[in-house]
Chain A
Amino acid sequence: MSRRPYVREMSKTTWYMRNGRYRVYVLRELSSFLVAFYTFLVIYALSVLAAGSAVQWNSFLASQQGVGMIIFHGLALLYFLFYQTFPWFKLAPKAMPIQVGENKVADSKIIGAHYVAWIVVTAFIFWLAGVI
């Protein structure tokens, strides 16, 4: 009797088509492109600001306020909410379980604390930006 194990290679290019779970995962990871985009946007905005020209700064602001850009930002926000914020908050009690005495703190409390912190930070940023 001879051993000759058969190896099924996982395709390096199409592996994520294997099941729905992998596809959701890849969609989550693809949001990194948006993160990169917003990083460059902020760097660009800072450089315009640093240049000190009001004309340039105002035209940059205007470029972000067109209908197309607003739709883009809105879609990006939804994408982040559904593929990052909500799933990560849901997973928070797994990554950071808290045990008091013999019992684990309920998942809902840990998740709730994240939402409260999120709202507080968002409100602070809005206040800083003069929106509220």
Chain B
Amino acid sequence: MGTRQLELEVMRYDPEKDEAPHFQTYSVPCNEDWVILDAINYVKDNIDTTLAYRWSCHMMVCGSCGMMVNGEPVLTCKTFVRDLPDKVRIEPLENFPIERDLVVVLDDVMQKLHQVQPYIVRKDDPPEDAEYKQTRGQLMKFKQLTMCINCMCCYAACPQYGLNKDFIGPAALALAHRYNLDNRDQGKSDRLDILADHNGVWECSFVGACSEVCPKHVDPAAAIQQMKVDGAVEFWKQRLGIPGDKS
């Protein structure tokens, strides 16, 4: 297996010492089949133990290793060294405050995910001794949206979130849509206030950047546009006195 020397320009920030972030360069001998996360782990193990970053599963499931690699928000566990030039710039996810080095503060999006009530809301009592039924067709309506791993690459790509931190943003809106589309859920009207707010779906201008960078092909931009169509239909239904769909 061939090795290749990679120059990693890594953004460093120590809240106890630094006024602002700066770059530090590490020269890393990489195997061609490595991903960027392997190279960062190499730095941590062999060159500089002070480097702070998040990772856990190394297999696109945990969603914690999202970073900017040469300006693109990616999961570093699926970004191969062989697809990159010899010089690679690694920064913490854009649009988030930096906690330390490559670790960002995610409090804001955590609160937003919570805000959209990402769980099944029922207005009636659950059926006794039975589960809620769902056909395959009903599941297919939203299955793609359940693939989100909260890596927040979409927030790092979204210019609207960059400009306005009150925007609920792609992953949380996609998650709301996932529950709105679930036939077992009755909470659509509860979510409407948050989604139809000016910081909800209408703040999105369909740049589509979120969907392009999403490593799990969740396509949050599509979900948001569907919600706009939904919202407009609901609006007219209410105006014309036609009862809305589920709840």
Residue positions of A touching B, CB distance < 8 A: 1-8, 10, 12, 15-16, 18-19, 21-22, 25, 29, 91, 94-97, 99, 101-104
Task: Name B66-82 residues within 8 Å CB distance of A.
Answer: 71-72
**Given A5-B97, A5-B99, 17 other A-B contacts at CB below 8 A?**
A2-B15, A2-B16, A3-B15, A4-B15, A6-B13, A12-B163, A15-B159, A21-B207, A25-B159, A29-B205, A91-B208, A94-B222, A94-B225, A95-B226, A97-B222, A99-B140, A101-B137
Q: Could you say which of A1, A4, A96, A102 has the most chain B C-beta atoms within 10 Å of its C-beta?
A: A4
How many A-B residue pairs have C-beta atoms within 8 angstroms? Tell me. Answer: 80
CB within 8 A of A5: which of B15, B18, B20, B141? B15
Interface string of B199-215 (1 = CB under 8 A from A): 00000011111011000
Are A8 and B94 in contact (CB-based, < 8 A)?
A: yes
Are A15 and B137 in contact (CB-based, < 8 A)?
A: no
Q: Distance (Å) between the CB of B184 and the closest chain A CB?
A: 17
Chain A residue nearest to B107 (CB atoms) is A5
Give bound CA distance, A3 to B229, whole Å: 42
Q: Distance (Å) between the CB of B124 and the closest chain A CB?
A: 26
* A95 and B225 contact, Cβ closer than 8 Å, known pairs A3-B15, A12-B163: yes
Q: Distance (Å) between the CB of B207 and the closest chain A CB?
A: 5
A97 cross-chain contacts in B, Cβ below 8 A: 222, 226
CB within 8 A of B225: which of A8, A10, A16, A91? A91
B72 cross-chain contacts in A, Cβ below 8 A: 19
Are B137 and A10 in contact (CB-based, < 8 A)?
A: no
Are A10 and B222 in contact (CB-based, < 8 A)?
A: no
A-B contact pairs, 11 of them (CB 8 A): A1-B16, A6-B20, A8-B95, A15-B163, A18-B159, A21-B212, A25-B205, A25-B207, A96-B229, A99-B137, A102-B137
Q: Distance (Å) between the CB of A87 and the closest chain B CB?
A: 9
Are B16 and A16 in contact (CB-based, < 8 A)?
A: no
Q: Distance (Å) between the CB of A83 and the closest chain B CB?
A: 13
Query: B162 near A: Cβ within 8 Å?
Result: yes
Are B229 and A16 in contact (CB-based, < 8 A)?
A: no
Interface string of B202-246 (1 = CB under 8 A from A): 000111110110000001011001101100000000000000000
Are A6 and B97 in contact (CB-based, < 8 A)?
A: yes
Chain A residue nearest to B141 (CB atoms) is A99
A103 cross-chain contacts in B, Cβ below 8 A: 140
Interface string of B86-102 (1 = CB under 8 A from A): 00000000110111000
Query: B118 near A: Cβ within 8 Å?
Result: no
Chain A residue nearest to B137 (CB atoms) is A102
* A7 and B207 contact, Cβ closer than 8 Å, known pairs A1-B16, A21-B212, A94-B222: no
B209 cross-chain contacts in A, Cβ below 8 A: 21-22, 25
Task: Name B136-169 residues within 8 Å CB distance of A.
Answer: 136-137, 140-141, 157, 159, 162-163
CB within 8 A of A19: which of B71, B95, B105, B140? B71
B221 cross-chain contacts in A, Cβ below 8 A: 94
Closest 10 A/B residue pairs (Cβ): A94-B222, A5-B97, A95-B225, A4-B15, A10-B162, A102-B137, A6-B98, A25-B207, A7-B97, A5-B105
Are A95 and B159 in contact (CB-based, < 8 A)?
A: no
